[in-house]
Amino acid sequence: MPQGKPTTVPNDGLTTRQRRRRPILAVHTGPGKGKSTAAFGLALRAWNAGWPIGVFQFVKSAKWRVGEEDALTALGEYHAQTGTGAPVTWHKMGEGWSWIQRAGTEQDHARDAAEGWEQIKRDLAAENYGLYVLDEFTYPMKWGWVDVDDVVETLGNRPGSQHVVITGRDAHPSLLEAADLVTEMTKVKHPMDAGQKGQKGIEW
Amino acid sequence: MPQGKPTTVPNDGLTTRQRRRRPILAVHTGPGKGKSTAAFGLALRAWNAGWPIGVFQFVKSAKWRVGEEDALTALGEYHAQTGTGAPVTWHKMGEGWSWIQRAGTEQDHARDAAEGWEQIKRDLAAENYGLYVLDEFTYPMKWGWVDVDDVVETLGNRPGSQHVVITGRDAHPSLLEAADLVTEMTKVKHPMDAGQKGQKGIEW
């Protein structure tokens, strides 16, 4: 609804223009599909706006975002060749980040998650990206591997114009409270309910 | 959930492999954000799978999908140069397609919508694309500009392996019935509620 009019005008001392340019903290949560997919769709807009994109993949499995990774990496290469768009940096947290615990102990996973978050903090402090996609970042928050208060405070105090989108189920209430934009994806119908398994190009 | 197991195995005479490869009809509906964004995110996977992508933009305004259009068009160019990925064809239905009626009479819009749908039917019959993004196609269906029974029947009988994703609010019950995958996007919180207007790179 870009053409819409806000229903309220807050008494925050900002002009409409200043308010419009505030960076967004978005959360895509809920049990339905499209949480991450919509975040990567948002990355297309960011790319076109010329904002460097940093993806931090708190992966379930190394292969699951391969379609998005290859396509966004290609957009980064296109930018390097033509100057159009923006660079794309894809951070994979490795198998240790899996919430389906394929290898390593829970302590290993917790340490990996904490290290990933420390990297994000350094990038935020350095204003390295215009859009951060923190894919499935709700899970390490939920499991206490990353301190929720630290996340909320760090994001709330991030400098400059750095947009952040966090995906995953069961977003912490404090994160929802801090977010500017929250969308819940609800499953109405899924092919798996009719006995159909996931397929390349659709599910990953 | 690609690693998940279907909870039921239908008595449809198909093998698991055949069933897995059936093309999907997906609908992203509901009042929240992310309906179209998730559809364009899906296009990233399709691109990586090498499926030619056809976008049919039943636009509200010519500028609104410019980020996605430019990024996906760049991916199409990348494909043309390198062979990686897939071609991307972007069909804009022109100002006449706007559901905010900027110009033209309602009859003009209805005729434009019907012509767009006829083009989609020709492309489906010719199996021109692996993924069709019918962006905001629910609206011409809702307003009777396109015959719902014709849409459902045509999509149900489409040949080959052509995936279709339809976005927009108020999806017709017959379309939901025909769909394999339905996700509802629900607004939990939106910056506009706090007085912030949409901005480039986020909203378009």
Query: How much is the ipTM here?
Result: 0.78
Q: How far is A6 from chain B (nearest CA, A)?
A: 5
Which is more confidently placed, A120 or A5? A120
Among B24, B34, B67, whose Cβ lies nearest the Cβ of A34?
B34
Which is more confidently placed, B121 or A2? B121
Q: CB-based contact (8 Å) between A184 and chain B?
A: yes
Closest C-alpha to B187, from B34, B26, B28, B27: B34
CATH number of the domain to which B178 belongs: 3.40.50.300
Residue A9 lies in a domain: no
Question: How confident is the model over A49-106, as pLDDT tens digits?
Answer: 999 999 998 865 545 678 899 999 999 999 999 999 999 999 877 544 444 444 566 7
Question: How confident is the model over A16-51, as pLDDT tens digits?
Answer: 655 556 799 999 999 888 899 999 999 999 999 999
Residue B8 lies in a domain: no
State the pLDDT at residue A8: 63
Give the total number of structural domains in chain A: 1
Domain containing residue B156: 22-185
Tell me the two tokens of residue B105: 């009479």
Q: CB-based contact (8 Å) between B203 and chain A?
A: yes
Tell me the two tokens of residue A37: 């997919």
Residue A4 lies in a domain: no
The distance from CA A21 to its chain's CA centroid, rounded to whole angstroms, is 19
Q: How far is A88 from chain B (nearest CA, A)?
A: 12
Residue A17 lies in a domain: no
State the pLDDT at residue B6: 57
Question: How confident is the model over A101-131, as pLDDT tens digits?
Answer: 445 667 777 888 888 899 999 999 999 999 9
Residue A141 lies in a domain: yes
Residue B198 lies in a domain: no
CB contact under 8 A, A10 and B194: yes
State the pLDDT at residue A31: 87
State the pLDDT at residue A99: 45
State the pLDDT at residue A115: 87
DSSP state of A201: T
Helix (H) or strand (E) holding B132: strand B131-135
State the pLDDT at residue A66: 81
State the pLDDT at residue A98: 44
Q: How far is A134 from chain B (nearest CA, A)?
A: 15
Share of chain A above pLDDT 70, in %: 74
Among A34, A45, A131, whose Cβ lies nearest the Cβ of B68?
A45
- The answer to whether residue A14 scores a pLDDT higher than 80 is no
State the pLDDT at residue B133: 96
Give the pLDDT mean for A158-180: 95
CB contact under 8 A, B198 and A70: no
**Which chain B residues touch A130 with a CB distance below 8 Å?**
201
Residue B164 lies in a domain: yes
State the pLDDT at residue A100: 46
Q: How far is A148 from chain B (nearest CA, A)?
A: 20
Identify the segments of chain B with pLDDT beneath 50: 1-4, 62, 95-102
Residue B191 lies in a domain: no
CA A21 to CA B40: how far, in whole Å? 24
Among B4, B46, B201, whose Cβ lies nearest the Cβ of A192?
B4
Longest pairwise C-alpha distance within chain B: 55
Q: What per-residue string of b and e applies to A171-203 under the rule 16 or more CB within 10 Å gives b?
A: bbeebeebbbbbbbbbbbbbbbebbbbbbbbbb
CB contact under 8 A, A44 and B24: no
CA A146 to CA A138: how far, in whole Å? 10
